[in-house]
Structure 1
Amino acid sequence: MTEIRGLVFDKDGTLFDFRATWGGWSRRILEELAGGSTDLAATLGTAIGYDLSDGSFAPDSPVIAHTAPEIATYLLPHLPGADHAVLVARMNAMAAVTDLVAATPLVPLFEALTARGLRLGLATNDAEEPAHAHLRAADVARFFQFVSGFDSGHGAKPDPGPLLAFARSQGLDPESVAMVGDSRHDLVAGRAAGMRTVAVLTGVAEAEELAPLADVVLPDIGHLPRWIDTQVMAVT
Structure 2
Amino acid sequence: MKVDGILFDKDGTLFDFAATWNTWAADVIRHFADGQSDIMARLAQAMDFDLGAGRFNPTSIVIAGTNREAAECVAQALPELAIEQIEHVLMIRASDAPLAPAVPLVPFLDGLMAHGLKLGVMTNDSEFGARSHLQSAGIEARFDFIAGFDSGHGAKPAPAPLLAFARATGLAADRVVMVGDSAHDLIAGRAAGMQTVGVLTGMAGHDELADLADIVLPDIGHLPGWIME
TM over 0.5: yes
- Which amino acid letter does the alignment assign opposite residue 178 of structure 1? V
Query: Does residue 23 of structure 2 align to residue 24 of structure 1?
Result: yes
The correspondence of residues 62-211 of structure 1 with structure 2, limited to 5 A, is 62-211=61-210
Deviations 1:45-75 (A, max 9, x none): 1211111111222122122110111111112
Q: CA deviation at 1:40?
A: 1.4
Q: CA deviation at 1:78?
A: 1.5
Question: What is the root-mean-square deviation in Å for CA atoms of aligned residues?
Answer: 0.9
Which position in structure 1 is the counterpart of 2:53? Answer: 54
**Partner SS for 1:217:** strand
Q: Residues of 2 paired with 1:56 and 1:93: CA distance?
A: 20
Q: Residues of 2 paired with 1:42 and 1:17: CA distance?
A: 26
Q: TM-score, normalised by structure 1?
A: 0.95
Q: Residues of 2 paired with 1:38 and 1:160: CA distance?
A: 41
Count of matched residue positions in the alignment of Structure 1 and Structure 2: 229
Q: CA deviation at 1:145?
A: 0.4
> Which sections of structure 1, spanning at least 5 residues, go unmatched?
231-236
Which position in structure 1 is the counterpart of 2:215? Answer: 216
Q: Residues of 1 paired with 2:219 and 2:76: CA distance?
A: 36
Deviations 1:143-179 (A, max 9, x none): 1000010000000000011100000000000000000
**Partner SS for 1:121:** strand
Q: Residues of 2 paired with 1:125 and 1:77: CA distance?
A: 20
Query: Does residue 3 of structure 2 align to residue 4 of structure 1?
Result: yes
**Partner SS for 1:213:** coil
Q: Residues of 2 paired with 1:16 and 1:103: CA distance?
A: 5
Q: Residues of 2 paired with 1:112 and 1:72: CA distance?
A: 37
Q: Residues of 1 paired with 2:160 and 2:11: CA distance?
A: 19
Q: CA deviation at 1:3?
A: 3.7
Is the Cα contact below 8 Å between 1:42 and 1:51 reproduced in 2?
no
Is the Cα contact below 8 Å between 2:2 and 2:227 reproduced in 1?
no
Q: CA deviation at 1:80?
A: 3.2
Q: TM-score, normalised by structure 2?
A: 0.98
